[in-house]
Amino acid sequence: MVPDGGTTVVGGALLDSEREEQDRTPGLSRVPLLGNLFKRKGVFRDSSEILFFITPRIFRPDFEGNQTSSKRGNGTNSTTILQPVPLGNPSSNSDTSPVVPLNRTPLVPVVPVVQSQTNPGNLPKF
């Protein structure tokens, strides 16, 4: 069993290949005892692997999130839930306590902009 937001390996494939090559000088490589000086053998092995991962996300339409109201053509209001289920323990998603917004202070202090009024007569002339 994989928890909500957890990742697991579903499957994979492994490809092994092997090839043998021989380079030789025509004629001289066939001479007994000295022929090995004029030829070269090589064995090449290659291995490739691919894995398939899955990360399940549980979506619950009954989760109470941000609600937005929309007007239908017949004049009735309907409510739509547009917030996804948060990750973590699924039993915590059924918590009915109200969500309290955090009071966050800005990282950079906000400095009010002061506008100065200038008279056109005080501007320098070029």
Residue 41 pLDDT class (50, 70, 90 cuts): very high
Residues near 44 by beta carbon (within 8 Å), at least 6 away in sequence:
18, 19, 20, 21
Instruction: Compute the distance between CA of residue 93 and CA of residue 81 in angstroms, rounded to an integer.
Output: 14
Asked whether the beta carbons of 61 and 82 are under 8 A apart, the reply is: no
Partners of residue 16 on adjacent β-strands? 47
pLDDT at 14: 94
Asked whether the beta carbons of 53 and 69 are under 8 A apart, the reply is: no
pLDDT 10s digits, 52-82:
999 988 877 765 554 444 444 555 555 555 5
- Decide: residue 4, CB within 10 A, 0-12 exposed, 13-18 middle, 19+ buried: middle
Tell me the whole-structure pTM to 2 decimals: 0.33
pLDDT 10s digits, 9-33:
999 999 999 999 999 999 888 888 8
- The end-to-end CA distance of the chain, in Å, is 79
